Amino acid sequence: MMGATTDFTGGPLEHLAGDGMFQHFRPLYNGHLIANVEMTQERGNRLIRAGLADSIAFGRPFIANPDLPERFLVGATLNEVSWPTVYASGPDGYIDYPALNVKANARLGPPENEHSAFDASFNKRDYSAAEKNNAQKA
């Protein structure tokens, strides 16, 4: 289900704008509801926590951030989509988005902690330190 569509302002469907789409249809559908379009980590978490969606799909953020889950995990900034390379042929826009620089982006710490996320190698997919840190903050 789309989390953003045409501008409903001033019309009879205005209540469906934003999260209103999920609030309206969730009680009417018992199946697995996947929310997409203009999702963010914060919005996705909010929809899941509220029971308004079961899964969250990311399109453009994944195009620009092949390491999107890692970025969400450490609270890193996201690359913006480079529109000139969207729908283009050749490798540009498919393999050249910069991967996460953990040391530059991670907001977890402290860095002097040898087990912190600053030291985690994403190639090893070792998220234990980041998960522990997130759990402590929650």
Ligand X SMILES: Cc1cc2nc3c(=O)[nH]c(=O)nc-3n(C[C@H](O)[C@H](O)[C@H](O)COP(=O)(O)O)c2cc1C
Interacting residue ranges for ligand X, rule: CB under 6 A: 36-39, 58-61, 86-87
Nearer to ligand X, 61 or 106 (CB): 61
Burial pattern 11-48, b for ≥16 Cβ within 10 A else e, equals eeeeebbebebbeeebeeeeeebebbeebebebbeebe
Nearer to ligand X, 22 or 58 (CB): 58
| Separation of alpha carbons 30 and 35, rounded Å | 14
Q: Residue 128 Cβ, how far from ligand X at the closest point, in Å? A: 29
5 token code pair: 């569509």
Q: Residue 53 Cβ, how far from ligand X at the closest point, in Å? A: 13
Nearer to ligand X, 59 or 111 (CB): 59
